[in-house]
Structure 1
Amino acid sequence: MPWAAFNATFEFVADVGDGKNFEAKCLLCKKTVRCGHKSSSNLKVHLKGGKHKWTDEQVKTLNVSDKTLKRKLTDADENVSDFFRKRKITQADVDRVVDNLIICETLPHSLVDSPHLKEAVLLGLPSNLTVGCRKSFRKRLDKHHEKMKENLKRALNRVKYVATTADAWTKHGRSFLGMTAHWIDTENFERQSAALALKRLKGRHTHDKLAGEIHGILETYTIANKVSKCTTDSASNFKKAFHVFDKSNPTVGQGFEDLGDGLLDEETASVVDADEVEDEEEDDDGCEPVALSDTFADANMDIFLPPHQRCGSHIVNLIGSEDINESVQINATYKKIYDASTAKLTELWRKQARSELVATAFKEGFGVKLERPGDTRWNSQFDARKQIVGLCSGDGGDNFNATVSSVNLQKLTKVEIRFLQEYVWVLQPVALALDIIQREKNMFLGYLLPTVYSMERQLHHRRHAFSDGKPLKYCEPLARTAVEAIHRPGRFGLLLEERELQLAAVLLPQFKMSWVKEAREVAVLREALIAEAKAVSLSSDLSDAPGKPSPSARAPAAAAGGETQLEAEAEDDPEPMEEERTMEEEFFGFQRQASTAASDDTESPEAEVDRYLNCRSDSIKDCFGANSTGRRQFPRLFHLFLKYNTALPSSASVERLFSRSGHSFSDLRTMLSDLTLEMEVMLKVNQLYWLK
C-alpha cells in the first residue's frame, strides 16, 4: 500500500490502467476498492461508508497525508507499519499487552515483576509508562473476569436453548468441577461454545453436593430454565443427581434429607438405569473423578437440574475397551494370539520410551516414531495398533521385523500380523464412531442414533469378511462381542429407544428417516413429529430475538477471530477435509429421499412435516435458515430442530476445558489460589468475551 497506515485495513491487489491507480482488498469486508496512487480519499470513503461507519475522528487517527507517501518497503519490512510508530501508546495499551501475554500464554504471574519483561515491553516507550506489579495485575485480572462473565451472560440471554456439559476431575490433590455451555447461531447454524465454570470441589462426591454446584453455576448465568440437556459421563453420582433433582420430578426442591451419599448401592441401582459397575470407572490422562464440594449453607434451597444426557463417546469407549476384552475370555485361539501380540507391542512401546538407541532405530527404520497408547483411552490403543498395521503393509512386515530385530526385540509372526490387521479392520467402525460423536463443530445430538446404527451395521458386515473378501480367521469373536455389547442396557440399549433422541435424528436433514430400520417405526416417528409440530406456536420466530444472536452478541467474535479457544483448540474439531467427509458418508451409507415440494404459508403441521421428509436438501441452513425476507422454509421444524439438537451427544467439550488449559494444572501452578486458577482458565478459554 502507498500509505503504511492502511496496511491494517487494506491489502494491495494490483495496479490497474496506466499504473496511476491500483486495486486494494478491504480486510474487514473483503470488497475490492480502486484508488489512486496519489490520493487515499477512496479508501477513507470506503471506511466511512457501507458496513464500517468509521467516524471522522477514527479516520484522523490513521494520520495519513496524501503529500507524504511511504517509502518503498522491502520484503523484509513489508509488514512494518508507520502507524504503530506514530500512534500514541498509553498506559492502557501496556496493561493490555501484558495481561494478554500472561493470561493467554499461561505464564507465571510473577513474570510481571521480571525486569526482563519490563525491558522488553517498555523498549522505546516514554518513561512515564510502566508494566506495574503483580498486585496491580491481579486487580486487572478481577476486572477482566467480571467483564467476561457479563459479556457471556448477555450472549446467553439472547438465545432460547442452551446445552451444557459437566465433569469432575482431580489434579495435584485438588478437585474441580468444569462446565461448558453450547448454543446454535440461528443465522449460520454454527455451534457457539464457552466455558461456564471451573469450581474447586471439596468433600465427598455425593449427588446432592454435585446437584447444588451445577444448579448454582446455571443460576449464575441465569440459564437454569434454558438448558435443554446437560451431557455427562456415566458415573452413578451424576446420574442420581440428575434423576433426583430433575425439574420434572414432583419431589424436587424438598431439600436433601435422606438422599443418601450418591454412590452406587443397591437402593440406587434402579435409579441409574441398571448400568454396570464399570460405567463408573473413568481415568483420563492422569486425572480422575473425585469427591466434590462442601455442604451447602442452605440445605433446603430449591434445586433443580435440566434433563440429563449420557455421554455417547464414553459409552463407545467402554465398548471398545471393557466389552471387547470379553472376547479374550470366550475363545482360546483369540486369547493366545491377542496376548502374544500385545506383549510384543507393549515391549516395543516401552523400549522406545526408555531407550534412546531404540527410539533412534525406530525413527530411522520406520520413518516415524511409534505412537505410544495411553492407559485409559481406548482410541489411543486402537490408533497405536493401526500404525503398526500400516508399517507392516506392503512388504508383509519384513522391514518392520528387520528394524525390530536390529535392537534385539521380538519380531511379529505372520499370524500375529494377520491378527492385528483383522483387529483394526473389525474395530475401525468403532473408532470412527467415537471420532464423530466427540466432535464439537458441526455436531448435534441427532447424530447419536444414526452413528450407533451405522457402527452396528458395519460391525455386522465386517464380522463375516475381511477387507480381501475372505472370512475372518481370528477376530470373529471380537466382532460378535462388539455387536452384542451395543444393545446392553448399560450401553446403548435404553438410549436407542428414547423418543427425544429419535426425533433429534429425524430433524437433521442429512438423516431424516434414512436410519430407521422398520417401516412401522417410520410411521410412528412421523406421527410423533407431527404432534410436536402442532404444539409449536409461530407467533414469535426464533430468527428474531431470542433465538438469533443480535449483532452485538456476535461483535466479540469479530474482535477475537470469531471463535472461542475452546472451539479453536478442540483437537478433534477441525473442519472436515473432503476425504474425511467421504469417509463419514460411507460410514453412514443411508439411502435418502430425492423428491421436493413447494412451501405454503397456510400449510398444516402435517403438510410441513411431509414436505420436510420428502425434501431433497440435506443442508441444515437450506432447510431451517431464513431467506432474504426473514421467512423460513420449515418454521415449525426450525423450532424443534433447536429444541432437540442444541445438546451435544458427548461431554468431550468439558474434557477439553481441562486438557486445553495449557500449564494451568502443571506442578508450577499449584500455589495459585482456587479463585485465581479458575479466573485464569476461564479468561484463557473465553478470550472472545473480554479481549478487545
Structure 2
Amino acid sequence: MEQRNVFNAWQYRHLFTFQSMRGKNVVVMCNLCMPKVNLLSSSRYSTSNLKKHLERKHGGVFELFKATKPRKQDKSEPGPSTFDQIMNWEPPVTQVKVETPEQLQFEQEVTNDESQAVVDSLIFNFMMESLQPPSLLEQPAFKKLIEGVSGGMMVMTKETLVDRLQREQIQMREELKAKLDDVPSVCTTVDLWTARGKSYLTMMCHWVDPTDLQRKSMALACTRIRGPLTYDTVAAKIHEVHVAYSLEDKVQALVTDSGSNFVHAFNEFLGGENQEDEGEQCEFFSLNALLSTPPQEGAVLFLPPHQQCIAHVLSLVATEDLVEALQQHTTCSVYTSAMAKCAALWSKVHQPSEDKKPVKVTSWTTRWNFEYEAVEDLVSLNDVQLVELCERKNVAKLLLNEICFLKEYVEVLKPLAMSLNIFQGEDRCFFGLALPTLLTLKHRLMEKKTKTCIFPDIIDALLAGIDRRFAPIFSNQNAKLASATMPQFRLWWLSPAERGDLQTALMGEAAHIDPDAEDAEDESDSDDVKLEDEFFNFGPGDSSNQRGPKLEVQRYLESTTKTLQCLQDYPSVTKLFLKFNTILTSSAPIDRLFSHGGGVSTPQQSGLSDEHLEQLLLLRYNGLPICTTV
C-alpha cells in the first residue's frame, strides 16, 4: 500500500522539484533558488519546513503567490477512533452559496485588481531600492520574469512608473517641509560629485529632535550642475535648495569637506553629452575656496556660515603633519619599511588562499583611523603568529626594530584615533564635542611624550599642527557655548579663570533666547515677597538677580548629571543646546549618501537620467515606507 505523501497535493509544490524519498522524508529542490542547487528535506506528512523556507528566503515572491492563489480549505474527512464514533458520525450540514455569474465576475475582477496592486507596489519598491532605470520595465526578459512569478500579472508601464515617482517625490517633499517647519534650527552638509563629465551637488539637512535630543537627517537634493563650477553656480544651487525647503533663517552652518581632500569638480565640461566617454580629466578645487570667492556684481544669494569638517581637518593632522614629521625623523627608514610590509600583508588578505586558519588582520584602507586599527590588529599578534602570517602570505618578515616601532606607534597615537572616531560618530556628532575633544587630545599626547623614546619630536609636530589648523575653533565663542550646554562637559573642561566669563555669556544667551521667562518668574511673586527678598540677604548669592533663565543656568551648571536627558529639567538650556549643537563635527553623512546609492557613481552606465537619479536616491535614502497599495 502506497504511503501518504502530502507534498503531492500541496498547492505550492510547483515551486519545488521532487528528488527522492528518504524513509519518512521527501527531498525536493527549490526552483526559486536556481541556479544555486538547494536541496530541502521535509516530512511526507507535513510541508511546514518548505513553507518556512519560502517565507524566510523568498518572502516577496511567496506573498505574490498567496495573493494570487488563495489557500483552499482542506476537505479531509474525520478519522473516527472508536466504533461508536463511526456509527454516530453524520456529515456536517453546509449551506451552499449560490452566486450569479455577475457576482462571480465582480469578485474575480476585485481579486485581480488587488493582486495587480501588490505586484505594482513590489515592482516600484524594487526599482527604488536598486536604483534601476525606468527602461528596465520595457525589457522582455523582465516582463517574462514578473509574469511568471506573479501568475500572469502585468508589469506596469514606464510612463506609470515615471508618474508615480513624481507623485511620491512631491509627497516626500511636502512631508519633509511640514516636519522642518517645527524645527527651530538645522545644519546642512554639501558636497560636489563628478563622474564622466557630469557634476552633481548633494545636500542633506540635519537637526536635533527636541523631544529625545536625537540626531535626525534627511537628504534634500542630488541635483545636476551644468557649466563651470564657479562661485555663482555653486552658491546659486545651494541657495535654491535652502529656499525650496524654507531654511534660510534656520541654517546654523553649512558643513563641507575641504582642505587637501579636494572636492572632485570640473573646471568645464568635456564638450557636451556626446563626449562624456572621452575621458575623466578633471581639475580639483577646494569647495571652501570656491565659496569664499566674491560673487559677481548684482548677485543676491543666501549662504549660511561655513564650517569646515572638523573630522577632516583632524585627519590632515594624522596624515600630512604626522607623515611629514616621520619622514624628517631619524626613524624614517624604519617607518617606511614597516608600513611597506604592513601594506603588503593587507593587500594579500584580499587574495584567495587555501589556508583556512583565521587571522585577525584588517584590510588596507585610505582612511588613517582605519589604517591605525589595522596596525593595532597586526601588533596584537605574538611573535610566532607574526612569523607564521608572513610566511603564509609570502611577505618579508617584520624585524624586531620594526615591530617595536609599530607597537609604540599604536600606543602613542591611540588618542588621535579615538578623537577621529568621536568626530565621525553618526548619532552624537554634536558641535560641543569639538573643544573638549581637542583639548583632551592635546593633554593625552603630552602625557605620551614623557613615556615614549621614539616619538617626542613627532608629538611636538602633532601638537603644533592641532594648534595651527584649529585656531579658529579654539577662538570660536559658539563652540564654547555648545560645549557648555552639553551635560557631559558643562564648564569643567575650562580653567577656573575662564569659567566665569563663559558662565556670564551663557546666562546672557539664555535671557536673550527666552526673554519672557524672566518676566513671568517675577510676576509670580507678590510685592511682599519681593520686599522681603530685598530685606534679607541670607544664603549664597542674591536671588533677586538670578530669576528665570539665569537662575536655571545656575542650577544647570551646579548639577552633576551627565546624560542628555537631564536637559529636560532646564528648558532654557535645552533651547541653547539645540541652537549651538545642531552643527555637525563631520561631513561624513553626505559622503554616505553616495555609498547608499550603490551604483550611483556612474549613473550614465545604468541609464538613469538626472531627474530619475535624484528621485530614486532621495526616496530611498529618506526611508520611503514600502508600498502595499497603489
TM-based fold match above 0.5: yes
2:444 match: secondary structure: helix
1:535 match: secondary structure: helix
Cα separation, partners in 2 of 1:126 and 1:73, compared to 1, 3 Å: closer
1:224 corresponds in structure 2 to 248
Cα separation, partners in 2 of 1:212 and 1:124, compared to 1, 3 Å: closer
Q: Aligned equivalents of 2:260 and 2:454: distance in 1?
A: 36
1:5 corresponds in structure 2 to none
Deviations 1:458-492 (A, max 9, x none): 11112222xxxxxx23233322222221101xx11
- Larger helix percent: 2
Cα separation, partners in 2 of 1:622 and 1:407, compared to 1, 3 Å: closer
Structure with larger Rg: 2
The one of 131, 147, 153 aligned to 1:106: 131
* 2:613 is equivalent to residue 677 of structure 1: yes
Task: Give, in angstroms, the shift of residue 360 of structure 1.
Answer: 4.5
Task: Give, in angstroms, the shift of residue 501 of structure 1.
Answer: 0.4
The one of 561, 575, 578 aligned to 1:642: 578
* 2:470 is equivalent to residue 492 of structure 1: yes
1:618 corresponds in structure 2 to 562
Q: Matches of residues 426-441 of structure 1 in structure 2 within 5 Å?
A: 426-441=412-427
Q: Aligned equivalents of 2:442 and 2:621: distance in 1?
A: 36
Contact 1:181–1:194 (CA under 8 A) maintained in structure 2? yes
* 2:358 is equivalent to residue 379 of structure 1: no
Task: Say which is worse superposed, 524-533 or 678-687, in terms of deviation.
Answer: 678-687
Task: Give, in angstroms, the shift of residue 679 of structure 1.
Answer: 1.6
Q: Aligned equivalents of 1:663 and 1:447: distance in 2?
A: 34
Task: Give, in angstroms, the shift of residue 440 of structure 1.
Answer: 2.2
2:601 match: secondary structure: coil
The one of 429, 434, 439 aligned to 1:448: 434
The one of 332, 353, 367 aligned to 2:359: 367
Contact 1:447–1:505 (CA under 8 A) maintained in structure 2? yes
2:483 corresponds in structure 1 to 505
2:41 corresponds in structure 1 to none
Q: Matches of residues 314-325 of structure 1 in structure 2 within 5 Å?
A: 314-325=312-323
Task: Give, in angstroms, the shift of residue 448 of structure 1.
Answer: 1.3
2:120 corresponds in structure 1 to 95
Contact 2:362–2:374 (CA under 8 A) maintained in structure 1? yes
Contact 1:180–1:193 (CA under 8 A) maintained in structure 2? yes
Cα separation, partners in 2 of 1:126 and 1:420, compared to 1, 3 Å: closer
* 2:504 is equivalent to residue 527 of structure 1: yes
2:389 match: secondary structure: helix
Q: Matches of residues 57-68 of structure 1 in structure 2 within 5 Å?
A: none
Q: Aligned equivalents of 1:493 and 1:512: distance in 2?
A: 21
The one of 340, 343, 358 aligned to 2:340: 343
Letter in 2 for 1:425: E
Task: Give, in angstroms, the shift of residue 167 of structure 1.
Answer: 1.4
Task: Give, in angstroms, the shift of residue 618 of structure 1.
Answer: 1.6
Contact 1:169–1:177 (CA under 8 A) maintained in structure 2? yes
Contact 2:232–2:296 (CA under 8 A) maintained in structure 1? no
1:326 corresponds in structure 2 to 324
Q: Aligned equivalents of 1:331 and 1:366: distance in 2?
A: 36
Q: Aligned equivalents of 1:673 and 1:388: distance in 2?
A: 46
2:306 corresponds in structure 1 to 308
Cα separation, partners in 2 of 1:166 and 1:462, compared to 1, 3 Å: same
Contact 1:366–1:400 (CA under 8 A) maintained in structure 2? no
Q: Aligned equivalents of 2:432 and 2:416: distance in 1?
A: 18
Q: Matches of residues 234-633 of structure 1 in structure 2 within 5 Å?
A: 234-235=258-259, 300-332=298-330, 334-353=331-350, 356=352, 359-361=353-355, 364=356, 367-368=359-360, 370-374=362-366, 377-390=367-380, 392=381, 395=382, 397-465=383-451, 472-488=452-468, 491-516=469-494, 518-537=495-514, 603-623=547-567, 625=568, 633=569
Contact 1:419–1:475 (CA under 8 A) maintained in structure 2? no
Q: Alignment identity in percent?
A: 31
Task: Say which is worse superposed, 399-408 or 649-658, in terms of deviation.
Answer: 399-408
Q: Aligned equivalents of 2:329 and 2:296: distance in 1?
A: 56
Q: 5+ unaligned residues in a row in structure 2: which ranges? A: 1-45, 56-61, 72-109, 268-281, 519-542
1:687 match: secondary structure: coil
Letter in 1 for 2:453: K
Q: Aligned equivalents of 2:605 and 2:167: distance in 1?
A: 21
Contact 1:229–1:307 (CA under 8 A) maintained in structure 2? yes
Task: Give, in angstroms, the shift of residue 350 of structure 1.
Answer: 4.1
2:30 corresponds in structure 1 to none
* 2:197 is equivalent to residue 173 of structure 1: yes
1:8 corresponds in structure 2 to none
Task: Give, in angstroms, the shift of residue 453 of structure 1.
Answer: 1.4
Deviations 1:500-537 (A, max 9, x none): 00000100111111211x11111111011011111123
Q: Aligned equivalents of 2:401 and 2:324: distance in 1?
A: 21
Contact 1:433–1:452 (CA under 8 A) maintained in structure 2? yes
1:435 match: secondary structure: helix
Cα separation, partners in 2 of 1:75 and 1:689, compared to 1, 3 Å: closer
Letter in 2 for 1:320: A
Cα separation, partners in 2 of 1:287 and 1:449, compared to 1, 3 Å: farther
Task: Give, in angstroms, the shift of residue 409 of structure 1.
Answer: 2.4
Task: Say which is worse superposed, 671-680 or 433-442, in terms of deviation.
Answer: 671-680
Q: Aligned equivalents of 1:166 and 1:523: distance in 2?
A: 37
Task: Give, in angstroms, the shift of residue 417 of structure 1.
Answer: 0.6
Task: Give, in angstroms, the shift of residue 95 of structure 1.
Answer: 2.1
Cα separation, partners in 2 of 1:93 and 1:421, compared to 1, 3 Å: same
Cα separation, partners in 2 of 1:510 and 1:368, compared to 1, 3 Å: closer
Q: Aligned equivalents of 1:335 and 1:665: distance in 2?
A: 38
1:684 match: secondary structure: helix
Q: Aligned equivalents of 2:217 and 2:555: distance in 1?
A: 32
Contact 1:231–1:650 (CA under 8 A) maintained in structure 2? yes
Task: Give, in angstroms, the shift of residue 379 of structure 1.
Answer: 2.1
Letter in 2 for 1:653: P
Task: Give, in angstroms, the shift of residue 124 of structure 1.
Answer: 7.4
Deviations 1:546-585 (A, max 9, x none): xxxxxxxxxxxxxxxxxxxxxxxxxxxxxxxxxxxxxxxx
Task: Say which is worse superposed, 343-352 or 674-683, in terms of deviation.
Answer: 343-352
2:464 match: secondary structure: helix
Letter in 2 for 1:338: Y
Contact 2:259–2:286 (CA under 8 A) maintained in structure 1? no
Contact 1:169–1:290 (CA under 8 A) maintained in structure 2? no
Q: Aligned equivalents of 1:619 and 1:689: distance in 2?
A: 32
Q: Aligned equivalents of 2:378 and 2:559: distance in 1?
A: 45
Q: Aligned equivalents of 2:151 and 2:346: distance in 1?
A: 56
Deviations 1:591-650 (A, max 9, x none): xxxxxxxx99x9333321110001132222222x3xxxxxxx222212111111111111
Q: Aligned equivalents of 1:612 and 1:620: distance in 2?
A: 12
Normalised TM-score (structure 1): 0.64
Cα separation, partners in 2 of 1:540 and 1:687, compared to 1, 3 Å: farther
Q: Aligned equivalents of 1:407 and 1:74: distance in 2?
A: 47
Cα separation, partners in 2 of 1:540 and 1:526, compared to 1, 3 Å: closer
Cα separation, partners in 2 of 1:83 and 1:155, compared to 1, 3 Å: farther
